[in-house]
C-alpha cells in the first residue's frame, strides 16, 4: 500500500520541488472540472483520462475533498464509479 501511494503521488510536486502542482490544487481542479463539465456525473476513469493520471489518484482526490463522494461504491470498476457532489 505504501509503494502504491508513493507511486501515485509522483504526479505532484513535493516540498523540495521548484515547480509543479500540489495535490491539494489537483483536488480542487477535479472538483471544478466535475462540477462544470456537461454530461452529468463523470466516472473515475473519465477524470483520470482527462487529467492524465491513474485511477487511484482520482480516488484519493475524491476522498480528500469535503464535497465530493463516490456514487456506485458497490463497484470497484473505475468506469462505473461516478464522482458526485454534495448540493447537486
Q: What is the pLDDT of residues 18-75, one digit of tens each?
A: 777 888 899 999 999 999 988 889 999 999 999 999 999 999 999 999 899 999 867 8
User: Where are the alpha helices (H) located in 9-51, listed in sequence order?
Assistant: 23-36, 44-51
Q: Band of the pLDDT at 3, cuts 50, 70, 90?
A: very low
Nearest to 81 by CA among 42, 48, 50, 26: 42
24: CB partners within 8 A, 6+ apart: 64
34: CB partners within 8 A, 6+ apart: 41, 42, 47, 68, 83, 85
Task: Give the mean pLDDT of 7-22.
Answer: 73
The per-residue pLDDT for 14 is: 75
Count, residues in the chain: 88
Amino acid at each position: 500500500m505504501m509503494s502504491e501511494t508513493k507511486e501515485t503521488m509522483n504526479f505532484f510536486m513535493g516540498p523540495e520541488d521548484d515547480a509543479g502542482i500540489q495535490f491539494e490544487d489537483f483536488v480542487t481542479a477535479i472538483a471544478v472540472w466535475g462540477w462544470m463539465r456537461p454530461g452529468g456525473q463523470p466516472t473515475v476513469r473519465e477524470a483520470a483520462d482527462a487529467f492524465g493520471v491513474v485511477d487511484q489518484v482520482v480516488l484519493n482526490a475524491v476522498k480528500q475533498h469535503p464535497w465530493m463522494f463516490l456514487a456506485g461504491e458497490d463497484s470497484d470498476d473505475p468506469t462505473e464509479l461516478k464522482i458526485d457532489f454534495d448540493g447537486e
